[in-house]
Amino acid sequence: MALDLSMPILVVDDYQTMVRIIRNLLKQLGFEEVDDASDGTGALAKLKQKKYGLVISDWNMEPMTGYELLRHVRADDALRTTPFIMVTAESKTENVIAAKKAGVNNYIVKPFNAQTLKTKIEAVCGA
């Protein structure tokens, strides 16, 4: 099964430069519909308004972290099956374990390139 390049993707990061980088990588990979939110609270609001094929979220954000966002998504019947990739600058084992327990589909450590992103998306969204 090929990647669905038309699926909407939500990028969540409080650092606008990172949002722009991920957005550009997704465009390089052929994804056309990319929305963004600057924190977990904004992301949750968008997730309730629109069906996303994938969420790519930073871990460290205020006031709601990516980890808290993940827990909200997994606790919501309407959202719980949404594929979720966590992005972080830290590769702390306890963070990876916590995210896995909370139901994250995959994990990316910054910095990363388009190929890494594509591999992770394929692993999550079934290529």
63 Cβ neighbours under 8 A, 6+ residues apart: 39, 40, 41
| Percentage of the residues of the chain whose pLDDT score is greater than 90 | 87
Name the DSSP letter for residue 108: E
Looking at the structure of the chain, the number of domains it has is 1
Q: Once rounded to an integer, what is the mean pLDDT over residues 2-8?
A: 90
Q: Indicate whether 125 belongs to any domain.
A: no
Instruction: Say what the pLDDT of residue 3 is.
Output: 84
Give the model confidence (pLDDT) of 51-64 as tens digits.
999 999 999 999 99
Q: Indicate whether 78 belongs to any domain.
A: yes
Is there a contact between 65 and 48 (Cβ–Cβ < 8 Å)?
no
User: pTM of the predicted model, to two decimals?
Assistant: 0.95
Q: Indicate whether 77 belongs to any domain.
A: yes
Instruction: Say what the pLDDT of residue 108 is.
Output: 94
Dihedral sign from CA coordinates of 40, 17, 34, 100: negative
Is there a contact between 80 and 55 (Cβ–Cβ < 8 Å)?
no
Rounded to 5°, angle at Cα 89 from 86 and 90: 90
Give the model confidence (pLDDT) of 72-100 as tens digits.
999 999 999 999 999 988 778 888 899 99
Q: Indicate whether 41 belongs to any domain.
A: yes
- Of the pLDDT bands very low, low, confident and very high (cuts 50, 70, 90), residue 127 is low
Take residue 73 and report the two structure tokens written for it: 């998504």
Q: Indicate whether 99 belongs to any domain.
A: no
- What is the domain-level CATH number for residue 21? 3.40.50.2300
Instruction: Say what the pLDDT of residue 121 is.
Output: 96
Dihedral sign from CA coordinates of 40, 46, 51, 54: negative
Q: Indicate whether 34 belongs to any domain.
A: yes
Q: Once rounded to an integer, what is the mean pLDDT over residues 34-51?
A: 97
Q: Indicate whether 76 belongs to any domain.
A: yes
Q: Indicate whether 7 belongs to any domain.
A: no
Which domain covers residue 34, as residue numbers?
15-56+64-91+108-114
Mean pLDDT of the chain: 94
